Chain A
Amino acid sequence: MLHLLKIDLKKMTSYRTFWVICGLYFLTLGFTTASGMEILRWFANKTVEFGASINIDRIPLYHFPDIWQNLIWISGLFKLVLAVMVVISITNEYQYRTLRQNIIDGMSRWEFVLSKILTNVLLSVMSVGMLLLIAIVTGLIYTPELILADVFIGTEFLLAYFLEVFAFLSYALMLGVFVQRSGLTIVLLMLSHMIEAIIKLNLFRESLEPSIGWLKQFFPLESITNLVPLPFARYAFQEIQDYVSLTAVAIALVWTFLFNYFSYLKLKRADI
């Protein structure tokens, strides 16, 4: 397994696009999640001009345990960048026909898919690691009274975040395997949420909403977003889901398995 990961990384580590995209991803991820207070301050200044006032120190954006869900929800927005990298990695193999040569050289088709999946796991783990680091540092800085027990409340969101990134990268990989052209795949990837939203809109008209509205959670992309619910409404005195739903995890796991399985199935049957 490690050998397969090494093979895929060897393809990537001398590829400048890989470093540029991954560099941009981790930089923007890092800076955005770390500078939430600055953004809030800027926002507060703006609203003062309109006569309203927000006391930003009363918003516990970076306080344990709120910080986990807050930062993880924000980081989730950036996974698209990583997914574009995954698309480039797989579609290159088709474009350069190196997939064919890998098989000729003695990789099995499953080994090839597995090498890509393992890289996705690594990228997901690195995202979690990055976030863990930023959350701990900023949490320690901003939390006024540190209570150790609070630090660990909500850390299950880290696991949900791993699944969120890995599921989405698996989806990107599958899209790449099926479409095989980088440009088209990236466009489809970016439009995926919108396409799914339009389908849901047409499927669940208002009259049907109460009876079969619960089916929405089974849609692939919604299942990924449901892992980490939007937390910020709680600062406007609204009830939010501040835990990871096991149903959501189960649905996302099934989809993740299916994405990767479909990639394998497609590759197994294709003449390459």
Chain B
Amino acid sequence: MSDVVLSINKLTKNFGKLCAVNQLDLEVRRGQIFGMLGPNGSGKTTTLGMLMGVTNPTSGSFTWFGEAATHHTRKKIGAVLEHPIFYPYLSGQKNLELNAMVKGADPANIAKVLDIVELSARKDDKYKTYSLGMKQRLAIASALVSDPIILILDEPTNGLDPMGIAEIREIVKRIAADGKTIILASHLLDEVQKVCSHFAVLRKGKLMHSGPVDEVGKGEETVEVMAYHDDLAVLLQEFIGSGSIKKENGVYQVTMKDGFHSQDLNKFLFEKGIVTSHLATKKKTLEKQFLEILAEAH
């Protein structure tokens, strides 16, 4: 079996004059945790909607597991798009039984997935009595019920409090450790950086960037320096490896030129007789990269 789980080819969706998704090409491989980034309205949910058969594409195509998509392929995918959707008058357990019936999954899985999302104690309560966090967790359980090869989560932490977010993140990491492929759409960059192995950036329906998360940190380095010395700013400027220097909250942010690193700066200052009280190499964050990618697009 091929390594490619999902292959998207020039997928396009127009809503009237608005082009929600524009000639999108994307590939997701087995085992990846693939983050789909983009501001609100960038076409993430529309793309996922097309992949899951609820939105009819205007043009273009995609394949799941190397074959053309039908409702049968969807049964092998666990997906939660936007909000959790369940029958409010049914209990969590009954809702999952229904999901299992539709997916043709073994009902014995239900107890297992309820355990994973820690909802076993509330399984017989009606869905409408659940808190938002519990609803999100039940949605993840329903996506897992058929033991899918691939999991699609769209903004799984939307509207949750910090504890709820941490819980969902833990669950996602645990599932990823099981070797499942995950596609995670989010506008929370921090979330994607913490969880994902690969990411793509969408803007106004167009793919702006696609690559591994590891590569984000590469490129020029920024060093934070703090020292009790009046002329620190002057000295920092003297250092030949300094690019730009900014002062933020009493800490100097020095962007290093190519080939220079924090240890070079440390050595230079030490030779000048200055001992720093704080010296740290800052990796470029996904947020910064994301904003750069979006800025390039203009």
* B49 at interface by CB-CB < 8 Å: yes
B101's contact among A7, A97, A103, A272, by CB below 8 Å, is which? A7
B156–chain A nearest beta-carbon distance, Å: 15
Size range of the interface on A? 20 to 34
B151–chain A nearest beta-carbon distance, Å: 12
Would you call B88 and A105 a contact (CB within 8 A)? no
Would you call A269 and B52 a contact (CB within 8 A)? no
B98's contact among A11, A92, A96, A106, by CB below 8 Å, is which? A11
B89's contact among A10, A14, A101, by CB below 8 Å, is which? A14
Would you call B102 and A107 a contact (CB within 8 A)? yes
Would you call A269 and B56 a contact (CB within 8 A)? yes
With A100-B54, A104-B74, A271-B56: A3-B101 Cβ-Cβ less than 8 Å: yes
Would you call B85 and A97 a contact (CB within 8 A)? yes
Count residues on chain B whose CB falls below 8 Å from chain A CBs.
Answer: 31
* A111 at interface by CB-CB < 8 Å: yes
What CA separation (Å) do A106 and B77 show in the bound complex?
Answer: 8
* A235 at interface by CB-CB < 8 Å: no
Would you call B75 and A106 a contact (CB within 8 A)? yes
| Residues in B neighbouring A247, C-beta threshold 8 A | none
Would you call B54 and A10 a contact (CB within 8 A)? no
For B79, the closest partner residue in chain A by CB is A104
| Residues in A neighbouring B74, C-beta threshold 8 A | 103-106
What CA separation (Å) do A63 and B256 show in the bound complex?
Answer: 103
Would you call A6 and B101 a contact (CB within 8 A)? yes
Would you call A108 and B71 a contact (CB within 8 A)? yes
With A10-B98, A269-B56: A106-B85 Cβ-Cβ less than 8 Å: no
Taking chain A's interface residues, is the majority helix, strand, or loop, or is none over half, making it mixed? helix
A104's contact among B52, B56, B101, by CB below 8 Å, is which? B52
What CA separation (Å) do A233 and B22 show in the bound complex?
Answer: 67
Would you call A105 and B99 a contact (CB within 8 A)? yes
Would you call B101 and A96 a contact (CB within 8 A)? no
Near B by CB (< 8 A), chain A positions 74-121 give 92, 96-98, 100-108, 111
* A15 at interface by CB-CB < 8 Å: yes
* B137 at interface by CB-CB < 8 Å: no
| Residues in A neighbouring B53, C-beta threshold 8 A | 103-104
| Residues in A neighbouring B103, C-beta threshold 8 A | 105-106
What CA separation (Å) do A96 and B55 show in the bound complex?
Answer: 17
Would you call B90 and A104 a contact (CB within 8 A)? no
Would you call A271 and B89 a contact (CB within 8 A)? no
| Residues in B neighbouring A269, C-beta threshold 8 A | 56
What CA separation (Å) do A105 and B72 show in the bound complex?
Answer: 9
A73–chain B nearest beta-carbon distance, Å: 36
Would you call A106 and B104 a contact (CB within 8 A)? yes
Near A by CB (< 8 A), chain B positions 78-109 give 79, 81, 83, 85-91, 94, 97-99, 101-104
Report the 10 A-B pairs with minimum CB-CB distance, sorted nearest first.
Answer: A106-B75, A108-B71, A101-B85, A106-B74, A105-B102, A104-B52, A271-B55, A97-B85, A272-B54, A103-B54
Interface pairs (13), CB distance under 8 Å: A10-B98, A92-B87, A96-B85, A96-B88, A100-B54, A101-B86, A102-B102, A105-B74, A105-B75, A105-B103, A106-B102, A108-B71, A271-B49
**Known contacts A14-B94, A101-B85; can you find 14 more A-B pairs with CB under 8 A?**
A6-B101, A7-B98, A10-B101, A11-B87, A98-B85, A100-B54, A102-B102, A103-B54, A104-B52, A105-B75, A105-B99, A106-B71, A106-B74, A271-B56
